Amino acid sequence: MNKVRIGSVGLGRLGLRHAENIANKIQNAELAALCDINEAALREQSARLGVKNYYTDFNAMIANKDIDAVFIVSPSALHTGQIAAALDAGKHVFSEKPLGTTIEECKNAEKAVMAHKDKVFMLGFMRRFDESYRYAYKKVMAGEIGKPVLFRAYSQDPEKFIEGAIAFAPHSGGEFIDMCVHDIDLARWFTGSEPQSVYAIGGCYAHPEFGKYADGDNVCALMKFKNNCMVFLFAGRTAPHGYNVETEIIGTKGILRIASVPQKNLVEVLDSGGVRRECHENFLERFENAYVLEAQQFVDCIREGRKSEVTVQDGVRVLEIAGKCKQAFETGELLKF
Ligand SMILES: NC(=O)c1ccc[n+]([C@@H]2O[C@H](COP(=O)([O-])OP(=O)(O)OC[C@H]3O[C@@H](n4cnc5c(N)ncnc54)[C@H](O)[C@@H]3O)[C@@H](O)[C@H]2O)c1
């Protein structure tokens, strides 16, 4: 196969970055088409990225026989319908997380993927492609920290982007489904185990708007995994200092911390505010390389006839767990899986 010709849907915060990466950074790939219902943005970005085929209708894009694969970066509630339609149209599919916003939707997507085993399907759990997470993973797998005792993860968005988070809230699925899915994926990946029980709390500490969707602006969940590992997840939308994603894995023989200070780089700034290290601004900055590496794996899998590392089953299982966390948060009860 020559270059993999990709059509990408959704040109929002992340969709534009994926489109730019495909156009400029991914080897053996071509950005062949774009789709968004925002016609002005669609025309502008198509011209900027040199894309001749652009569509306001997803079904029209996937009817184009010259496209081999589709990137789905549309709002989360549209993912599963677009996954099934693209597979039926004979395309390989990369979908952003979450797989869907309900278990039923996710199961439908799983059926669609299973019915098209000749096509590559990959879900965008890009943290698995971040070099620090990969390095830590190898150490855990090599037994260097012994048996995992506690997996602790914080995912905090900056307060300064709160307006965007409020606008996204009606179709995000809530904090557990929108944000914690990454940490749930990592907890399963690092521990090789599945949850047994969950308790969750939180609330609207600064922004009552999230209450309309039975959500909070800061939430947490404590889970017991079947291998006895304790898993603590915290997600918030009001970080004063920037974008904070940190993870700690405590084992019987050692402890690994990933980005416990979410510093942008190695520069220290000495000024009237004292001595400080600047923080990552957002997910695009923190996971810049991970987005490139995951897209490259998707293209390589298509060209080499391989399966991707992140499967549709990962997406279904993570959504089931996130849904149970949400239910525990809403009911205040300790729930069993
Ligand atoms: N992996 C990550 O780190 C990460 C980070 C951010 C977002 N995401 C996921 O990516 C997806 C997009 O998020 P975002 O922040 O870019 O959203 P966004 O709201 O910024 O952008 C969504 C885009 O989709 C377009 N759109 C809406 N309905 C459409 C339709 N029917 N057909 C075509 N286009 C349509 C909108 O016009 C908009 O341009 C979400 O599922 C989100 O969960 C993943």
Per-residue model confidence (pLDDT) at position 173? 87
Q: Single out the residue of 307, 294, 281 nearest to residue 21, CA to CA.
A: 294
CATH number of 128-287+318-336: 3.30.360.10
**Shortest-distance Cα residue to atom 38 of ligand 1:** 12
DSSP states of 146-173: -SEEEEEEEEEEEGGGHHHHHHHGGGT-
178 CA from centroid of ligand 1 (Å): 12
C-alpha span between 36 and 45 (Å, rounded): 10
pLDDT of residue 28: 98
The per-residue pLDDT for 2 is 85
DSSP string, 246-298: EEEEEESS-EEEESSS-EEEEEEEEETTEEEEEE--SHHHHTHHHHHHHHHHH
- For residue 263, the number of C-alpha atoms closer than 13 Å in the C-beta half-sphere is 8
Task: Let me know: does 176 contact 325? Beta carbons within 8 Å.
Answer: yes
Q: For residue 108, what are its two tokens?
A: 């439908």
CATH of region 4-125+290-308: 3.40.50.720
**Model pTM above 0.85:** yes
- How confident is the model at residue 324, as a pLDDT? 97
Per-run averaged pLDDT (10 residues), the chain, 337 residues: 94 97 98 98 97 97 98 96 98 96 94 98 98 98 98 97 93 92 98 98 97 96 98 97 97 97 94 94 96 98 96 97 97 97
What residue has token string 């506690």?
150
In degrees rounded to 5, what are phi and psi of residue 322? -60, -40
> Which residue has a Cα nearest atom 19 of ligand 1?
12
Residues with CB under 6 A from ligand 1: 9-15, 35-38, 58, 73-76, 78, 96-97, 124, 126, 168, 178, 283
Q: Where are the domains of the chain?
A: 4-125+290-308, 128-287+318-336
CA of 225 to the centre of ligand 1 (A): 32
Instruction: State the number of CA atoms in the 13 A half-sphere of 205 facing the CB.
Output: 12
DSSP per residue, 205-245:
SS-GGGGGGT--SEEEEEEEETTS-EEEEEEEEEESSS-EE
Cβ atoms 313, 302 nearer than 8 A: no
Measured in angstroms, how far is the CA atom of residue 168 from the centroid of ligand 1?
Answer: 9
Separation of alpha carbons 232 and 223, rounded Å: 6
CA 209, chain centre distance (Å): 23
